[in-house]
């Protein structure tokens, strides 16, 4: 088994967070799962918007936090399953809305508030923790175990 992969990147504006998401999108493959963690306003949805732009989603303006619908699907070069676990009370509720089909399907999955449903996440996923460090500054920490996570994180760090 591959060793853990880690990287810490910094953005200084919402536009830089979106640009980071675009770079990340170019490294993703079907079955990749991103566990997004951070407080309200940290930029989780902005990162997903960047991923959508990088994957040529038809209308990236449609990328919004799915807090009240729990999951949005965006079609582009690759399907994006965008979950929001903020209102969920258990990992069981994630299973009920079909997370396994998304995780092991033909697209990528991004789960906002993933720490609330960590029991449903596949063993190999990429944890993306966003910390607010200033008015527009964000420290974005990537961590994962396994060959896919190492490849994505190492290549993302190299592109910084």
Q: How far apart are CA 101 and CA 117, in angstroms?
A: 16
Q: Two tokens at 83?
A: 């979950």
Distance of CA 42 to the CA centre of its chain: 13
CA–CA dist 28, 76 (Å, integer):
13
Q: Give yes or no for a contact between 5 and 158, defined as CB atoms under 8 angstroms apart.
A: no
Identify the three-state secondary structure at position 107: coil
Domain with 101 in it: 4-158
With cut-offs at 50, 70 and 90, classify the pLDDT of residue 40. very high
pTM: 0.91
Q: What is the CATH number of the domain that holds 87?
A: 3.40.50.300
Q: Are 10 and 17 in contact (CB under 8 A)?
A: no
Q: What's the total number of domains in the chain?
A: 1
**Alpha-carbon span 102 to 88, nearest angstrom:** 17
Convert the pLDDT of each residue in 43-92 to its tens digit.
999 999 999 999 999 887 788 776 667 888 999 999 999 998 888 888 88
């Amino acid at each position: 088994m591959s060793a853990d992969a880690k990287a810490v990147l910094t953005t200084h504006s919402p536009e830089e967070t979106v640009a980071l998401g675009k770079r990340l999108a170019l490294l993703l493959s079907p079955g990749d799962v991103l566990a997004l963690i951070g407080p309200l306003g940290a930029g989780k949805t902005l990162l997903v918007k960047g991923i959508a732009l990088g994957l040529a989603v038809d209308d990236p303006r449609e990328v919004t936090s799915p807090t009240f619908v729990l999951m949005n699907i965006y079609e582009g070069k690759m399907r994006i399953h965008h979950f929001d676990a903020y209102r969920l009370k258990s990992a069981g509720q994630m299973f009920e809305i079909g997370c396994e089909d998304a995780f092991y399907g033909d697209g990528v999955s991004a789960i906002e508030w993933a720490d609330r449903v960590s029991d449903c996440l596949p063993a190999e996923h990429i944890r993306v923790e966003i910390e607010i460090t200033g008015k527009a500054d964000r420290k974005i920490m990537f961590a994962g175990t396994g060959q896919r996570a190492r490849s994505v994180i190492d290549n993302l760090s190299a592109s910084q």
